[in-house]
């Protein structure tokens, strides 16, 4: 069984949306691990259908090493993003993980991702779940 880690912070809305789509597409064929930068984000993702959830820096440092895929907003790879919720150690752990990473081009930071189209969250998540994740899982 593939272990998919969804990381989100603040209110956990992006992660919860991703988890709902993943559950719809894969049911119990994958293990969904929700990692929140805070307890509220983790709880929202657990409520959305994650199999397990944890929050905080150590949970992200530990778990990111042993999953098959990491999914989240691109800002989980940036130190001090999400109003400082993403610590430098968290960003390093995400990017140092051997797992393939699928990032949604969403951020509250003053960053412009050139060449990325502005799509509503549901459209981005559908592309991630039904196209990109399928490709990644076939390679893992």
Residue pLDDT, tens place only, 11-48: 999 999 999 999 999 999 999 999 999 999 999 999 99
- For residue 73, give both structure tokens: 């907003």
| Secondary structure E strands in 37-129 | 52-55, 69-73, 101-104
Global confidence as pTM: 0.94
Between 39-47 and 13-26, two packed helices, what is the crossing angle to 10 degrees?
30
Strands 30-36 and 101-104, by their bridges, are unpaired
| Mean pLDDT computed over every residue of the chain | 94
Q: Evaluate if residue 137 carries a pLDDT over 90.
A: no
Instruction: Report d(CA 56, CA 102) in Å as an integer.
Output: 20
Question: Residue 2, Cβ neighbours under 10 Å: how many?
Answer: 15
R_g (Cα) of the chain, nearest Å: 14
Q: Where are the domains of the chain?
A: 2-139
pLDDT at position 140 over 70? no
> CATH topology for 2-139?
Rossmann fold (3.40.50)
């Amino acid at each position: 069984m593939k272990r998919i880690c969804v990381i989100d912070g603040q209110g956990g809305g992006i992660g919860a949306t991703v988890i709902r789509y993943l559950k719809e597409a894969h049911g119990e064929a994958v293990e969904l691990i929700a990692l929140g930068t805070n307890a509220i984000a983790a709880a929202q993702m657990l409520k959305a259908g994650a199999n397990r959830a944890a929050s905080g820096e150590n949970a992200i440092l530990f778990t990111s090493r042993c999953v098959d895929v990491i999914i989240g907003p691109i800002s989980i790879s940036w130190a001090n993003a999400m109003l400082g919720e993403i610590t430098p150690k968290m960003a390093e752990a995400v990017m140092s993980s051997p797992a393939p990473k699928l990032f949604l081009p969403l951020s509250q930071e003053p960053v412009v991702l050139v060449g990325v189209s502005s799509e509503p969250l549901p459209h981005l998540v559908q592309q991630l779940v039904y196209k990109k994740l399928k490709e990644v899982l076939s390679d893992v």
